[in-house]
Amino acid sequence: MKKIIFVVLFLSFIGNSNFAQLKSISFFSDYSSALSKKLNVGEANAVGGGANVQFDLGKNFSISFEGGYKLYSISQDNQLIAWGWDFWNNRYSNKIASDLQADKNLSVVINSSQKLGIIPVLLQLNYSYDLSSKLILTSSIGSGVYFYARTLFVIENWSKKFPSENYVFSYSYRNFAPEKKGNPFVVSAGFDLSYEFIESFQLKAGLGYKQILLGSNNGDRNFLFENELTTNLGIIFSY
């Protein structure tokens, strides 16, 4: 809650300040890849997008507010057991084993799928340098919060043989585990290269790095990586 209040107060300050004038609004899509991973995660990659609102501070400096959404696909060793789902570990898996033992014509294939959804809220300080009349290089540093939710579901593919009828009946369904949520702080750094193709409109491409500041609370412990690298493509509307 303190993190949310901080963001709201800062945005209110910017919105009511006379020294910060609206400079641009941009929309982008991005691709992220986790670097230092935790909890036996093998692969973690995401696609997403968002918007950035930039305010001019003068002398090539600006400050911006950025928000969006990204969805990570996660590959984690033994992710179903690692989730710590009491219903599955203590009750349901035992029922499956009992059902299979009681009926030799019954079989099941069990898979699981895990996702990590992130809503980033970032505040950034930017410095722009004109490489030419239309080409601009912008570097940025910032900080913010990652509001995330990890989800996991189990896919059960069941089959039952009826030997007398020479028939196999198959069906499948999903079991959803309880979500894991949190909101760790992050710090960021990166740069964008933008090109004005018509007046007031620019195309941009960028590269960014984010370090997640993980603490000892449950939400931070459940986060799956320590840092990430992001590339983005977008369009800027200048004022």
What does the mean pLDDT of the chain come to?
91
Confidence of residue 18 (pLDDT cuts 50, 70, 90): low
Contact 110/155 with Cβ under 8 angstroms? yes
Provide the b/e sequence for 194-217 (b: ≥16 CB within 10 Å). bebeeeeebebebebebbbebeee
Q: Whole-angstrom Cα distance, residue 192 to residue 203? A: 10
Q: Is 130's pLDDT higher than 90?
A: yes
What is the average pLDDT across 8-29? 71
Lookup result for tokens 């609370």: 217
What is the average pLDDT across 136-158? 97
Over the stretch 74-98, which tens digit does the pLDDT of each residue have?
999 999 999 999 999 999 999 999 9
Over the stretch 22-68, which tens digit does the pLDDT of each residue have?
999 999 999 999 999 999 999 999 999 999 999 999 999 999 999 99
Structure letter (DSSP) for residue 10: H
What is the average pLDDT across 174-200? 95
Q: Whole-angstrom Cα distance, residue 14 to residue 17? A: 5
For residue 219, the model assigns a pLDDT of 79
Q: Which domains does the chain have, with CATH numbers?
A: 2-238 (2.40.160.20)
Percent of the chain residues past pLDDT 90, beyond the cut: 83
How, if at all, do strands 41-58 and 61-76 pair?
antiparallel
For residue 220, the model assigns a pLDDT of 86
Q: Whole-angstrom Cα distance, residue 107 to residue 103? A: 9
Q: Is 12's pLDDT higher than 70?
A: no
For residue 14, the model assigns a pLDDT of 52
Q: Is 212's pLDDT higher than 90?
A: yes
Q: Whole-angstrom Cα distance, residue 135 to residue 74? A: 37
Helices of type H across the chain: 2-15, 79-82, 86, 93-102, 218-221
Quote the tokens at residue 22: 């609206």
Q: Is 193's pLDDT higher than 90?
A: yes
Nearest to 118 by CA among 51, 48, 177, 188: 48
CA-based torsion, 134, 135, 141, 145: positive or negative: positive
